[in-house]
Amino acid sequence: MLYLIAFIFGSIWGSFSNVCIHRIPDDISVVTGRSHCPSCKTLIKWHDNIPLFSYLFLKAKCRGCSAKINIKYFLVELISAINFVVIFHFFGVSLTTLLFFILSICFVIIFFIDLKHFIIPNELTYPLMIIGLLKSFDPNLNTTLFPNLVNSLIGGLFGYIIIWLIIFIYKKLRNKEGMGLGDAKLLSVIGFWFGWASIPFVIFFSSVIALLSVVPDIIKNKKDLSSQIPFGPYLIIGNLVFLIFNEQIRLFLN
């Protein structure tokens, strides 16, 4: 029953994430105004806005104009629901679970916004930095995942500075922007949450995954090495890989 509650709770927050993904880039309030169909502008009734279920029941079409509903909305809700179930499975009813719920929702929103708009909203990164630092004051949190206060502070600064240096050096060498400060802020978030030791691994994992993802397009001449790609999603995936192999990494370092 608790797993089902986590799934439903996650899908509801996934539905809210869709609102954020759609409105934040256009600087529209996410707490006022009802959702409407992008095509016919018809307000979506509550029974057509039930997470996951409504998408399937309506067969991915607007009830008013039969316009196709982007599968992204369904995927965001499903990913969020699965995230909540997985987090609850490993950490149960705890503060760690609540923290990871918050982080996972924010990461889902950042992932899809950066993927489409090439921006990482300050509205999400700044609060995550603050939460990442404040949680370090609690000595009872999972110390195998979360760092102490000093480690967290160093991690936040290290994460930001290393991306800032990459941007600075690239601009000096190529006279153009290579990355955005949004990426620096996102890596700073990861540093605040998981400490300075996580930064090299996250950069390595995200860089390898990003390279592997663009190689097919480079081979097909759809992209070249100077093509713009959103790096935020890869930082998030790299952070996930780091968390999955956290124990193995610790054993390796020891």
Report yes or no on 245 lying in a domain: yes
pLDDT band at residue 254 under the 50/70/90 scheme: low
Q: What are phi and psi of 143, to 5 degrees?
A: -75, -15
pLDDT the model gives residue 113:
97
Domain of 157? 140-254
201 pLDDT above the threshold of 70: yes
| % of the chain with per-residue pLDDT over 70 | 96
Report yes or no on 147 lying in a domain: yes
Q: Which residue's structure tokens are 């502070």?
A: 153
Report yes or no on 1 lying in a domain: no
Q: Which of 116, 135, 115, 113 is nearest to 124 (CA)?
A: 113
Each residue's pLDDT tens digit, 77-100 = 999 999 999 999 999 999 999 999
Report yes or no on 233 lying in a domain: yes
Cα–Cα distance measured from residue 26 to residue 14, given in angstroms and rounded to the nearest whole number: 19
CA dihedral 212, 178, 184, 254 (to 10 degrees): 40
- Are the C-beta atoms of 77 and 105 separated by less than 8 Å? no
133 pLDDT above the threshold of 90: yes
The number of beta carbons lying within 10 Å of the beta carbon of residue 251 is 9
Report yes or no on 52 lying in a domain: no
pLDDT the model gives residue 131:
97
Q: What's the whole-model pTM score?
A: 0.91
Helix (H, G, I), strand (E, B) or coil at 68: strand
Mean pLDDT of 236-240: 96
Cα–Cα distance measured from residue 250 to residue 37, given in angstroms and rounded to the nearest whole number: 48
Report yes or no on 216 lying in a domain: yes
Q: Name the DSSP class of 141.
A: S
Token pair for residue 133?
């630092």
Q: Which residue's structure tokens are 């009802």?
A: 34
- Give the number of domains in the chain: 1
Q: Which residue's structure tokens are 């509801």?
A: 12
Token pair for residue 106?
């924010």
Report yes or no on 62 lying in a domain: no
Helix (H, G, I), strand (E, B) or coil at 162: helix
pLDDT band at residue 228 under the 50/70/90 scheme: confident
pLDDT the model gives residue 232:
94
Residue type, 54: S
Report yes or no on 207 lying in a domain: yes
